[in-house]
A and B are shown apart, each in its own frame.
Chain A
């Protein structure tokens, strides 16, 4: 037998060398991302001549979309886009629970599986710095790529600014690149069951103290007044960033409180100031006395359905979460849900936090012109008006749509909706400090809120949170 050929050690050495080759090549292959965004010139500069919707005719745009009523209105109108531009749209729709995981993994892989996608303004802080998002500023300012009727000035300025950032942690929004376009948004206000309010002789809360009082009163009195199992106020409580941003952050901001302070470019957690601690304690107390049972698992789905099922007397969350329960025939409470801006802060502030469903473009897209035409059409007056009047795109990002007679006529059937929208729209903005660790910070904040709700000392919990976050964001 030829021992040299069957030498096990030699074979293992060769195998190891072969196995190591891809590993070593991976060392030199990089990690799939770019250093920062905005390098070099924009692909928008390559578009010249007069503007023409048909310039990218024959191309196909791939879109990643989240399952949402706004998305339904978009999909229903896609034919108009293809007719107008000759560009086809292929899309995948994912439920919100795993939509952002899918988007994150896809973008971080450095592939261009999708040319355009839905994202929130907070995601710009995460996806912008690694260079995954196309700066849309050059596209917007290029008259060869953008039609005159698109009308940038028609957007509510606070919404457009919310997607604009310099990519520097702590720097205010509204400066730097335009990394997404506002497409649909949600403002956080109070919706209430008019039937229970009438029966118990209640009026919508004008202060946070009143809100806490009314929440407790509903939980105590409503079951005895024919509203079996009803509690006071539905607010989110799961261990997620999404718990912080709607009602909690809105009321927190109305009290003039900040998540972080920025001093000389240094970010410092501020959720443990004495005022913030007192507010957080009161919020947890309100949930205990007037909030939902099993609050720590509450997401917007539960909050919304509890209002619709007459289990919650009030909802302090996105206006859309209440609207879809309020429309005729949608739920047992439909026709009995009204809107109110919610409690004012001690100085009368109605500062409101918001969520903006925005549309962004993949910086790695090989189809940028067609993708831009899609974004332009989807955020244009024609589609957004149609989506608002015929679909359920109820919070217009454009001033012209919000003033449209057909839109107003449609919305006037929902008590207090238009008035509430008009009252808070100018005071609604992103109330968080932009920084890359947003999701870590707000998830930890939600966990702290749960601990305080569970009976832990608010001061020590929030001090612990602040010291943990200082090391991460400072």
Chain B
């Protein structure tokens, strides 16, 4: 037998003469098998990495509509980004937005989950209604809220009029515009946090709560000492998703304020969009996106590491 024909497929030859004749698998094919198995994963990874790599490559040029044959500029785009005050302004707005949205959504989401966990008939109905905002595209939600927040014809000021607040100009001031954008984000994504928290609540063991009830522990004590520590891993997963997403926000803010008034709601994604698409400075715009990617990546790594610790603690895994 040739050295490349050393084994039979699935060891069929050893089963005797009852089955079909044993098929000899060449060694080279056996050697290839592990690689064939990872081809789908490899293609997927390539599909992700290729555009990313190409984007990264573009950032070392000064490619723009006005410069279709660009020169290599090394890290000049990054130096320019970090040297511009507009970048730091946008980074600050992005962080404010992400922290604000993730914090409100977490607190409200957990509160809603606790209410729904009581499993009343109303709760079961509300549970279904609650996910409706999640089914609306964020940009549609933002346009909807833009109309509702419109001071002269919007329903929000109409409802506030009896309380003497009919003249609020929601998106006309920097603080108002940022808070309104966060409010829309909260409206859309709080159900996401609530659903995750509710799933967490339903998976908690009953015995600690029964023991606490027997010992006469109050609601607040039980929540603080039992519910929250055990629920925390689930909440943290929601926080990681929401924080990552909020750092990358574009649609809600762009549809609501276009980044205004002034530059007050120009987050990093909007600046990248303006640079790359509107102003057609492609390399510079992509550099913004790479910086944003690095920020999101680092923040996520930190949060995921923290999540691991929390999960270990919740599961009482000895270190």
Contact flag A436-B66 (CB < 8 Å), given A23-B50, A239-B261, A311-B153? yes
A295 vs B258: C-alpha distance when bound (angstroms):
13
Nearest residue (CB) in B for A454 is B261
**Docked-complex contact A294 and B68, CB < 8 angstroms:** no
Enumerate chain B residues within 8 angstroms of A349, measured Cβ to Cβ.
Answer: none
Enumerate chain B residues within 8 angstroms of A127, measured Cβ to Cβ.
Answer: 65
**Docked-complex contact B260 and A439, CB < 8 angstroms:** no
**Docked-complex contact B170 and A294, CB < 8 angstroms:** yes
- State which of B206-214, B274-282, B308-316 sits at the interface with chain A: B274-282
**Docked-complex contact B31 and A26, CB < 8 angstroms:** no
B interface residues, tally (CB under 8 Å): 47
A337 vs B260: C-alpha distance when bound (angstroms):
31
**Is B263 part of the binding interface, using a Cβ–Cβ cutoff of 8 Å?**
yes
**Docked-complex contact B68 and A130, CB < 8 angstroms:** yes
Enumerate chain A residues within 8 angstroms of B54, measured Cβ to Cβ.
Answer: 23, 26
Contact flag A439-B261 (CB < 8 Å), given A294-B151, A294-B171? no
**Docked-complex contact A448 and B53, CB < 8 angstroms:** no
Bitwise, A9-34 to B at CB < 8 A (1) or not (0) is 00100010001001100110011111
Bitwise, A121-148 to B at CB < 8 A (1) or not (0) is 0000011011100000000000000000
* Neighbour of A104 across the interface among B146, B260, B277, CB < 8 A: B277
**Docked-complex contact B274 and A229, CB < 8 angstroms:** no
**Docked-complex contact B174 and A454, CB < 8 angstroms:** yes
Nearest residue (CB) in A for B177 is A296
Of A5, A105, A239, most B-chain CB atoms within 10 Å: A239
Contact flag A129-B65 (CB < 8 Å), given A6-B34, A238-B258, A439-B279? yes
Enumerate chain B residues within 8 angstroms of A130, measured Cβ to Cβ.
Answer: 65-66, 68
**Docked-complex contact A34 and B68, CB < 8 angstroms:** yes
A293 vs B150: C-alpha distance when bound (angstroms):
8
Enumerate chain B residues within 8 angstroms of A161, measured Cβ to Cβ.
Answer: none
Interface residues of B in 124-176 (CB under 8 A from A): 146, 149-153, 167, 169-174
**Docked-complex contact B260 and A294, CB < 8 angstroms:** no
A22 vs B304: C-alpha distance when bound (angstroms):
33
Contact flag A32-B146 (CB < 8 Å), given A239-B259, A311-B153? no
Shortest Cβ distance from residue A431 to the other chain B in the assembled complex, whole angstroms: 21
Enumerate chain A residues within 8 angstroms of B61, measured Cβ to Cβ.
Answer: 31
Shortest Cβ distance from residue B144 to the other chain A in the assembled complex, whole angstroms: 14
**Is B69 part of the binding interface, using a Cβ–Cβ cutoff of 8 Å?**
yes
Shortest Cβ distance from residue A320 to the other chain B in the assembled complex, whole angstroms: 22
Bitwise, A282-312 to B at CB < 8 A (1) or not (0) is 0000000000111111000000001001010
A71 vs B26: C-alpha distance when bound (angstroms):
67
Bitwise, A354-394 to B at CB < 8 A (1) or not (0) is 00000000000000000000000000000000000000000
Contact flag A451-B261 (CB < 8 Å), given A130-B68, A293-B152? yes
Shortest Cβ distance from residue A20 to the other chain B in the assembled complex, whole angstroms: 8
Bitwise, B71-82 to A at CB < 8 A (1) or not (0) is 000000000000
A22 vs B53: C-alpha distance when bound (angstroms):
10
**Docked-complex contact A31 and B279, CB < 8 angstroms:** no
**Is A427 part of the binding interface, using a Cβ–Cβ cutoff of 8 Å?**
no
Contact flag A33-B68 (CB < 8 Å), given A238-B258, A239-B257, A451-B261? yes
**Docked-complex contact A104 and B172, CB < 8 angstroms:** no
Contact flag A239-B69 (CB < 8 Å), given A23-B54, A294-B151? no
**Docked-complex contact B260 and A450, CB < 8 angstroms:** yes
**Docked-complex contact B259 and A108, CB < 8 angstroms:** no
Shortest Cβ distance from residue B72 to the other chain A in the assembled complex, whole angstroms: 10
* Neighbour of B257 across the interface among A229, A296, A439, CB < 8 A: A296
Enumerate chain B residues within 8 angstroms of A333, measured Cβ to Cβ.
Answer: none
**Is B21 part of the binding interface, using a Cβ–Cβ cutoff of 8 Å?**
no
* Neighbour of B278 across the interface among A2, A292, A297, A439, CB < 8 A: A439
**Docked-complex contact A440 and B279, CB < 8 angstroms:** yes
Shortest Cβ distance from residue A67 to the other chain B in the assembled complex, whole angstroms: 16
Enumerate chain B residues within 8 angstroms of A456, measured Cβ to Cβ.
Answer: 262
**Docked-complex contact B69 and A296, CB < 8 angstroms:** no
Nearest residue (CB) in B for A11 is B35
**Docked-complex contact B169 and A447, CB < 8 angstroms:** no
Shortest Cβ distance from residue B63 to the other chain A in the assembled complex, whole angstroms: 5
**Docked-complex contact B277 and A450, CB < 8 angstroms:** no
Nearest residue (CB) in B for A441 is B279
Contact flag A454-B259 (CB < 8 Å), given A2-B31, A26-B54, A311-B152? no
Interface residues of B in 56-112 (CB under 8 A from A): 57-58, 61, 63, 65-66, 68-70
Enumerate chain A residues within 8 angstroms of B298, measured Cβ to Cβ.
Answer: none
**Is A261 part of the binding interface, using a Cβ–Cβ cutoff of 8 Å?**
no
Enumerate chain A residues within 8 angstroms of B35, measured Cβ to Cβ.
Answer: 11
A6 vs B34: C-alpha distance when bound (angstroms):
9
Enumerate chain A residues within 8 angstroms of B42, measured Cβ to Cβ.
Answer: 15
Enumerate chain A residues within 8 angstroms of B282, measured Cβ to Cβ.
Answer: 31, 108
Enumerate chain B residues within 8 angstroms of A239, measured Cβ to Cβ.
Answer: 257-262
**Docked-complex contact A131 and B57, CB < 8 angstroms:** no
* Neighbour of A297 across the interface among B66, B257, B262, CB < 8 A: B257
**Docked-complex contact B277 and A126, CB < 8 angstroms:** no
**Is B229 part of the binding interface, using a Cβ–Cβ cutoff of 8 Å?**
no
A267 vs B50: C-alpha distance when bound (angstroms):
40
**Is A272 part of the binding interface, using a Cβ–Cβ cutoff of 8 Å?**
no
Contact flag A108-B153 (CB < 8 Å), given A23-B57, A297-B146? no
**Is A165 part of the binding interface, using a Cβ–Cβ cutoff of 8 Å?**
no
Of B173, B260, B279, B282, most A-chain CB atoms within 10 Å: B260
Enumerate chain B residues within 8 angstroms of A453, measured Cβ to Cβ.
Answer: 261
**Is A263 part of the binding interface, using a Cβ–Cβ cutoff of 8 Å?**
no
Nearest residue (CB) in A for B157 is A293
Between-chain CB contacts (< 8 Å), 12 pairs: A2-B31, A23-B57, A26-B57, A33-B65, A108-B65, A130-B65, A131-B68, A293-B151, A297-B256, A440-B279, A447-B261, A447-B262
Q: Using a CB–CB distance below 8 Å, which chain B residues touch chain A?
A: 27, 31, 34-35, 42, 46, 49-50, 53-54, 57-58, 61, 63, 65-66, 68-70, 146, 149-153, 167, 169-174, 177, 256-263, 274, 277-280, 282
Given A239-B260, A297-B260: 11 more A-B contacts, CB < 8 Å: A2-B31, A19-B49, A26-B54, A101-B278, A294-B171, A297-B171, A311-B152, A439-B278, A440-B278, A448-B262, A451-B262
Closest 6 CB pairs of A and B: A33-B68, A239-B260, A293-B151, A450-B261, A451-B262, A5-B31
